[in-house]
Amino acid sequence: MSVLVVGTTALDSIKTPHRENPRLLGGSASHAGVAASFFAPTTLVGIVGSDFPENYIDLYKRHGLDLDCLERGDGPTFHWSGEYEVNMNNRHTLETELGVIENFQPKLTQSAKESKYVLLANCAPALQHDVLKQVDNPSFVIADTMDLWLNIAREDLLELLKDVDCLVLNDSEAHLFTEEDSPVVAAKALHAAGPRYVIVKKGEHGAILSTPNGYFIAPAYPLENLVDPTGAGDSFVGGLVGYLASHEGADIEARLRKGIIYGAVTASFCCEDFGLNRTTTATREQIDGRLKELQSMTSY
């Protein structure tokens, strides 16, 4: 089965305590789409501006992404700049310039409308909902979000959540959304808003999946060489949805568990270099290798 991913296709300017890197390929859909492409055919829905370098389009193509729903607008590409503190966990957004995505009205092709696995990667909830409404009969819908949208588009997000199977967000966003300190209590409040499955990510400390039947506690892959965590959350959810699309049939909770581990492993590659530099040189064999390592590190 194929995956449909909508989100930002961006230029990112990233500052870590060690280096500064302007206008790299980034965006939630870029990271998530490339991650999903390791597992399943993936269609990208988004818009780039007139300043978006052609070699980044070539990179999407090298990963086999279907670009029939990727538009080029007349104006600047979505640009995000962020800075990490010395601990590399705390991140501050310096600037978010929406550019051409502000007035983007996506039109899905017929084959995109027939997608069964839909990933609403981080972008304005109204845009996420617009795309979802164009999909005929999705089997499983995952949505990701972040603090900006919780702050400026909460009502749109609440509307969207009624139509979503699984919500993914990090622990600080779960707190911001629900005002609950405990991720599991926050997850309960989020279930009440619609999603049957809620995944709360906790960075290097892994993630918790909350379902009507209980919890699954997932580790993160322990990394020695953390260079830039930007896009790790998107790579996580991209790997997850890609795995789900490639393993139809079995019990959804079992698939979600294994998909989360695949997501964690895919995200680990993203963190080893800036932007998509490392993810785009990873191979499926390397991903499977780390999955095995993680299995042996967590079995007892």
Residues that bind ligand AMP (CB under 6 A): 8, 10, 12, 26-28, 31, 80, 96, 122-123, 146, 148, 230-234
Q: Which amino acid is at 3?
A: V
**How would you classify the pairing of strands 10-15 and 79-84?**
parallel
Task: Give me the least distance between CB of 248 and ligand AMP, in Å please.
Answer: 26
Dist. CA 103–CA 105, nearest whole Å: 6
Please state the closest distance from residue 10 (CB atom) to ligand AMP, in A.
4
The residue among 79 and 116 lying less far from ligand AMP, judged by its C-beta, is 79
Of 1 and 73, which CB lies nearer to ligand AMP in the complex structure?
73
Enumerate the H helices of 54-197 as residue ranges.
54-62, 110-113, 125-134, 147-152, 154-161, 171-178, 183-192
Strand pairing of 117-120 and 3-6?
parallel
Nearer to ligand AMP, 25 or 261 (CB): 25
Euclidean distance between CA atoms 174 and 181, whole angstroms: 8
Sign of CA dihedral 40, 43, 47, 53: positive
CA distance 17 to 84: 7
Q: Least separation, in Å, of the C-beta of 125 and ligand AMP?
A: 10
Q: How far is the CB of 254 from ligand AMP (least distance, A)?
A: 26
SS3 22: strand
Cα 91 from Cα 272, distance rounded (Å) = 17
CB nearer ligand AMP, residue 96 or residue 172: 96
Minimum gap (Å) between residue 277 Cβ and ligand AMP: 13
Residue the block writes with tokens 């538009």: 71
- Give me the least distance between CB of 67 and ligand AMP, in Å please: 18
Q: For ligand AMP, which is the closer residue by CB, 80 or 216?
A: 80
Q: Which pair of tokens denotes residue 5? A: 């991913």
Our CB check for ligand AMP shows the closer of 130 and 234 to be: 234
